[in-house]
Amino acid sequence: MASKAPPANVMIAYGVCTTAALAIFHFVAEGEFSAILTMSVIMQCLAVVLLFLQSQSSGSAAGISARALGLEALALVCRLSSTLWLNGYLPVDASGDHVFQAVDLCTLGIVLALLYRVLVVQRGTYQEADDTLPVLPVALACFILATLLHADMNDRPLFDALWMAGLFLGIVAVLPQLWLISRTTGRVEALTSHYIATMAVSRLLSGTFMWHARFDLTCQPWFEGFNHASWAILGAHVLHLLLLADFAYFYVKCIVQQGLPSLAQVDIGCIV
């Protein structure tokens, strides 16, 4: 059983993020519901930490999509362009003052470090020939939709649109990773599967917050009485979970059959 236990650095990552999340929720946010949004960015940070640990422990970039990381970095930059100096999309509790932004900056730093490892340090093992999903049209579509559908919580159209673009880019960032998996063996390493699953938890948390805040999200409606921004934000979160539905089925099935500690690979070969 000891040989099947997760590596110490993985357990430390889970422990540190869990402890930090609980401490922030109780001592900084003082149990306020809005802190669930801060918990979502902490889960996102944990997800990229797990992917970094896979690259570090295996000494290989195999199974990691640089295009997915690029979209994730762009999404974080777009979000930070708003949250670093505007309050419209921040949690109203004390965690929205500095903690939220600090976690996003940390996540961005880890994503950029991981991109460097994949594209430079471990380029020989990077599956570039299979990481081929066209991301430029996807990113362009996200920016166009954000321009059309953005809310006005910042009351600054440019930065409202950038925040919305960050949301959309973060939602579709999983597509190149799933594409790479389907183009190779259809099997995903343990920490990659944990990365995808933890990102889903992050979206579930932020989606829960947005559902409860849906009546507070405002925009300049195209049609009287129809808040297109609120539905676009909620729809984006639902889309992310739908994109991961097939993966989630095999992920849970593998955990049930093998147990989480011994989870080595998840077979999702049916994703095409």
Q: Give pLDDT tens digits for 5-43.
A: 567 888 899 999 999 999 999 999 999 999 999 999 999
pLDDT of residue 269: 45
CA-closest candidate to residue 184, choices 130, 115, 249: 130
In our burial notation (b when 16+ CB lie closer than 10 A, e otherwise), range 17-37 reads beebbeebbeebbeebebbbb
Residue 2's pLDDT band, with cuts at 50, 70 and 90, is very low
More confident residue, 11 or 209: 209
Task: Evaluate if residue 179 carries a pLDDT over 50.
Answer: yes
* Alpha helices by DSSP H, the chain: 8-23, 35-58, 66-83, 99-116, 136-149, 157-172, 174-183, 190-212, 228-243, 245-258
Whether residue 272 lies inside any domain: the answer is no
pLDDT of residue 66: 97
Whether residue 211 lies inside any domain: the answer is yes
d(CA 131, CA 65): 6
Whether residue 157 lies inside any domain: the answer is yes
Whether residue 169 lies inside any domain: the answer is yes
Q: Which two tokens stand for residue 143?
A: 């920016």
pLDDT of residue 191: 84
Which phi and psi (to 5°) does residue 92 adopt?
A: -80, -10
Residue 184's pLDDT band, with cuts at 50, 70 and 90, is confident
Domain residue limits at 12: 2-267
pLDDT of residue 244: 82
Number of domains in the chain: 1
Whether residue 249 lies inside any domain: the answer is yes
Whether residue 152 lies inside any domain: the answer is yes
Whether residue 144 lies inside any domain: the answer is yes
